[in-house]
Amino acid sequence: MINCKRFAESLAFSVKFQTVIATAALSISAGAASQPALANTLTQEQALGKALFFDKSLSATGQQACGSCHSASTGFTDPDKSHPTSKGDNPLLFGNRNTPTAMYQAYSPEFGYDATEGLWVGGQFLDGRAATLEIQAMAPFLNPVEMGNASKAVVIAKLQNGINASAFTAVYGADIFNNVDNAYDKVAQAIASYERSYELSPFTSKFDYYLKGEVKLTQSEQRGLALFNDPMKGNCAACHISDPLDDGTPPLFTDFTYDNIGIPKNYGSDFLTLDDEFNPDGTSFIDYGLGGVLDDEDLYGAFKVSTLRNIAITGAYGHNGWFDTLDQIVDFYATRDVKPQCTSSNISSTEAMLLGCWPKAEFPDQMNVDELGNLPLNKWEKQYIVSFLGTLTDGYSFAAVPEPQTWALMIVGLGGVGAGLRRSRRRQAKRAIQTAS
């Protein structure tokens, strides 16, 4: 059921959204201003950030880097698909959320509230608790179930004695290690700089080349795109914006807002079995999302609208990794309110699909019932949408099919750089609807 009033309200927010994202895009361009003639070359700071991003020595036992859970081979998400959430530096410890992609996050505006529209927009992490990339980059090093370091001083000592020390001083000065807090800030700054580089926002998918007129979509991909955009069918573009920005930036396939789509609790999450030190709530743990950050019951279960770029290679899906496949979550969007409720909540997405039911949402009273849950899509149309989503994978090869691993290996192929100096209310957001009914 299409909420026409919300489409009308979204038009004013669309202008604000374009302005905010355009500002973020300018800041990304500014990061490469020192070498404007070399669009696909990392700056010295970005190269340092790339080395730190993939430096396992900066974790407690030297077994984990940012790149361990954000691998280029899987769209900068966790390459280990055997668990719904990621292992930490200690392989017996797991986080409580599915690792989000680090790609295109440089375009997310600083976290803030639009008082006119009544919307929270932007920020980092799935719950927006970090306003910027720099703030986000500081957190994993000290998270006990991620990289597990005891303090900033421990991280900086590892860096000072590691392969990237000389590169760090070359970028930030010979005395940078004299102040731990300042050095730690610079670690985050370097990583954020890399995350703003072209390597994490390459815009090299088949769809990007299609927009340039350099390649054609297949019939099923074209049908999927039409269904994706159609407000009376998939309505996906209401939140996952498929239009280029006014400044020419290709579509980001998110409006960077927050939504509760009604995902069930994932009883298969390894986090639920951690001891009291790491999860005092045990199997009773509930993820409140943005509502927990803001202490706002109306926002319980709301998580950041994810970009759909590289979505075909970034499963599992959902904030808790409950969905195993893209087909499952597309079916959920279409039939959440149509299929009966499963008799048990302790059920996997694969079992739910076989039984033809969906478990109860963690926060059913707060979930979005206006734009998903009962979409007029048949099984073929859902497959067309999945087919279209496959065109959003970066590293497209004109010779055959997308080859994301080739593109990924180019990115990962870096050791330390230290040894020789040695990387609406709520929518665009929503497309302007010419006819509302």
Cα dihedral 368/370/374/377 (nearest 10): -110
Query: In this structure, are residues 429 and 255 in contact, taking their beta carbons and an 8 Å threshold?
Result: yes
The pLDDT value recorded for residue 408 is: 62
Q: Which fold has domain 4-420?
A: Cytochrome Bc1 Complex; Chain D, domain 2 (1.10.760)
The pLDDT value recorded for residue 400 is: 53
- pLDDT tens across 31-90, in order? 433 332 345 899 999 999 999 999 999 999 999 999 999 999 999 999 999 999 999 999
Which residue ranges make up each domain of the chain?
4-420
Rounded to 5 degrees, φ, ψ at 332 are: -60, -45
Mean predicted confidence (pLDDT) in 368-372 = 93
Query: In this structure, are residues 76 and 103 in contact, taking their beta carbons and an 8 Å threshold?
Result: yes
The pLDDT value recorded for residue 410 is: 59
Question: Cα–chain-centroid distance for residue 187?
Answer: 21
Q: Quick check: 424 pLDDT over 50?
A: no
Buried b (16+ CB within 10 A) or exposed e, 98-117: bbbbbbbbbbbbbbeebeeb
Pairing state of beta strands 258-259 and 303-304? antiparallel
Q: Quick check: 422 pLDDT over 50?
A: no
The pLDDT value recorded for residue 132 is: 97
Q: Quick check: 15 pLDDT over 70?
A: no
Give the span between the Cα atoms of 308 and 294, in whole angstroms: 26
CB atoms within 10 A of CB 19: 13
The pLDDT value recorded for residue 401 is: 52
The pLDDT value recorded for residue 127 is: 97
- pLDDT tens across 157-167, in order? 999 999 999 99
Q: Quick check: 234 pLDDT over 90?
A: yes
* Ranges of H-type helices in 336-416: 349-355, 379-389, 404-412
Q: Quick check: 309 pLDDT over 50?
A: yes
Q: Which amino acid is at 181?
A: D
- pLDDT tens across 174-193, in order? 999 999 999 999 999 999 99
The pLDDT value recorded for residue 364 is: 96
* Ranges of H-type helices in 161-205: 165-172, 180-195
Q: Quick check: 414 pLDDT over 90?
A: no
Question: Cα–chain-centroid distance for residue 397?
Answer: 24
pLDDT band at 404 (very low <50, low <70, confident <90, very high): low
Burial classification of residue 393, based on how many CB atoms lie within 10 Å of its CB (0-12 exposed, 13-18 middle, 19 or more buried)? buried
Mean predicted confidence (pLDDT) in 402-419 = 52
The pLDDT value recorded for residue 118 is: 85
